[in-house]
């Protein structure tokens, strides 16, 4: 059994280890180029709630409406040349969700990493809620008031005011009407 001194010694060694400090600089650099620098390029509306650890790619092709809430560890990855991400007003995105406006080709004989990217816009209309751990793929439109369930994979357009879930996501049922509403 290691002694208490041995545990303290390991802690001191890690504090004075130059590789630990180098790794800290690498983390700071990564944060700078995947969040701070890219966030400056995003066209943002008013009153945003934007987690400090959102991963952003090609921020110049991302637009957020007013009062959007982008949760922790969300990935907003616009395409390298044409694929855009557009969020309407009052959109909420739960933690760990991924929105990617490009993907790789799948043709046999060439590894996907060496194939041209397929870029298509993602459009998220007003009042949409994207649940935690959802994935929104390139070319998808989420119509006004749509709710995407946690863990869903969205590969095609989803209708307005519907609760949608699954892999691939599909419309499950309409959102409830306000109490006292007439049809």
**How far is the C-alpha of 113 from the C-alpha of 124, rounded, in Å?**
28
70-93 pLDDT, tens digit per residue, is: 999 999 999 999 999 999 999 999
**94 in any annotated domain:** yes
Tell me what pLDDT residue 4 has. Answer: 53
- Say if pTM beats, i.e. exceeds, 0.75: yes
- Give, for 29, the enclosing helix (H) or strand (E): helix 18-31
Pairing between β-strand 117-119 and β-strand 102-104 as defined by DSSP bridges: antiparallel
What is d(CA 156, CA 148) in angstroms, rounded to the nearest whole number? 12
CATH of the domain at 52: 2.160.10.10
Q: Give the per-residue pLDDT at 44.
A: 95
Domain that holds residue 90: 41-174
For residue 22, is pLDDT > 90? no
**Any domain includes 32:** no
Q: Are 103 and 121 in contact (CB under 8 A)?
A: no
Over range 4-23, report the average pLDDT: 68
- 137-166 pLDDT, tens per residue? 999 999 999 999 999 999 999 999 999 999
Is 14 contained in some domain?
Answer: no
Q: Do the domain assignments include residue 179? A: no
How many domains, in total, are found in the chain? 1
């Amino acid at each position: 059994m290691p002694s208490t001194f041995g545990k303290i010694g390991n802690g001191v060694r890690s504090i004075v280890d130059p590789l630990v400090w180098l790794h800290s600089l690498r983390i700071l650099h990564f944060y700078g180029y995947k969040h701070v620098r890219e966030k400056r390029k995003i066209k943002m509306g008013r009153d945003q709630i934007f987690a400090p650890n959102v991963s952003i790619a090609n921020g110049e092709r991302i637009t957020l409406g007013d009062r959007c809430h982008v949760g922790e560890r969300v990935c907003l990855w616009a395409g390298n040349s044409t694929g855009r991400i557009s969020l309407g007003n009052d959109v909420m995105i739960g933690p760990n969700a991924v929105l990617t406006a490009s993907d790789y080709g799948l043709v046999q004989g060439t590894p996907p990493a060496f194939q041209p990217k397929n870029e298509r816009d993602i459009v998220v209309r007003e009042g949409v809620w994207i649940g935690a751990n959802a994935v929104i793929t390139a070319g998808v439109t989420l119509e006004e008031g749509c709710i995407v369930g946690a863990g869903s994979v969205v590969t095609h357009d989803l209708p307005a005011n519907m609760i949608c879930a699954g892999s691939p996501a599909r419309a499950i049922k309409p959102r409830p009407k306000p109490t006292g509403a007439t049809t």
